[in-house]
Amino acid sequence: MKRHHAVVRITHWVNAIALTVMIGSGLRIFNAYPAFARRGESFCCYPFERTPIPAKLTFGGWLGGARNWHFAMMWVLVVNGLVYLAFIYLHGEWRDLVPRRGIVRDSREMIKFYLNARKDHPKQGKNNALQRMAYFSMPLVGVMAVVTGIAIWKPVQLAPLTDVLGGYVWARYWHFWAMLLLVILTIGHVFMVFTVDPYSIPSMITGKYNEDLSPEARNARPFVHLLPQHHDDAPTV
């Protein structure tokens, strides 16, 4: 069956590439001054002050190059995100992503299933409760990244915005947290795709998906579904 429209697929991969470049270049910019406290001052909430991010996790080569890549990808992400949000709103696909009534209960049931405290996979439709919460939060975290990024990009011109965020130091800190949350959500998403629903990967390329191979149909947990299955009702010899 058709699962993902071409617009969703294209914006997904553009976002994956742009976000990777933006995070790597942002970490390279951070390494130019790997602390939040101003010189001679201390900062309460970052235990790794003056410790740079490993260079292999950064992108851009040098500060100027990283800044160029970072700002270029910023506009790519903003435009790409607006196209995606406009499409899912006009096309009605937002209904598969927003949390619905009972989302907390359904999330608990999914966690119980993943922890093997529940035998059968909860009913989910296109996305389960945990996916809905993750996919719904990503654009919100993205907005947080954009707002805090603009505040530290133009702290003088946009002083009222920077002040609302607590000043330049705190705006930079919240921008770092937005990046960290996006990384956590992305890693969680990739992990679950590969360990629970690897059959969804081709669908993000072709748009087609076999519902008989869905996690619900296969009763799939992370890694567990890859192991030999033992059935209590298997015939004895």
* Closest listed residue to residue 93, CA positions, set 15, 192, 12, 199: 12
* pLDDT interval class at 224 (50, 70, 90): low
* Any domain includes 186: yes
How far lies 219's CA from each of 28, 35, 113, 173, in Å?
A: 42, 46, 9, 41
Give yes or no for residue 74 having a pLDDT over 60.
yes
Residue 10: give the domain boundaries. Answer: 6-222
* Any domain includes 229: no
Q: Percent of the chain having pLDDT more than 90?
A: 73
Per-residue pLDDT tens digits for 161-182 = 999 999 999 999 999 999 999 9
Mean pLDDT to the nearest integer, 70-87: 94
Mean pLDDT to the nearest integer, 172-201: 93
Q: Percent of the chain having pLDDT more than 70?
A: 94
* Any domain includes 41: yes
* Whole-structure pTM value: 0.85
* Any domain includes 178: yes
* Closest listed residue to residue 128, CA positions, set 201, 209, 220: 220
| DSSP-assigned beta bridge partners for residue 125 | none
Domain count of the fold of the chain: 1
- Per DSSP, the three-state class of 2 is strand
* Any domain includes 227: no
What is the model's pLDDT at position 170?
A: 96
Mean pLDDT to the nearest integer, 212-226: 81
Per-residue pLDDT tens digits for 8-50 = 999 999 999 999 999 999 999 999 999 998 888 889 999 999 9
* Any domain includes 34: yes
* Any domain includes 181: yes
- Whether the Cβ atoms of residue 205 and residue 9 lie closer than 8 Å to each other: yes
CATH of the domain at 118: 1.20.950.20
* Any domain includes 152: yes
**Higher per-residue pLDDT: 199 or 236:** 199
* Closest listed residue to residue 57, CA positions, set 80, 91, 30: 30
Which residues, 6+ apart, have CB-to-CB distance to 151 below 8 Å? 158, 161, 162, 165, 168, 171, 175
Distance, CA of 192 to CA of 205 (rounded, Å): 18
* pLDDT interval class at 51 (50, 70, 90): very high
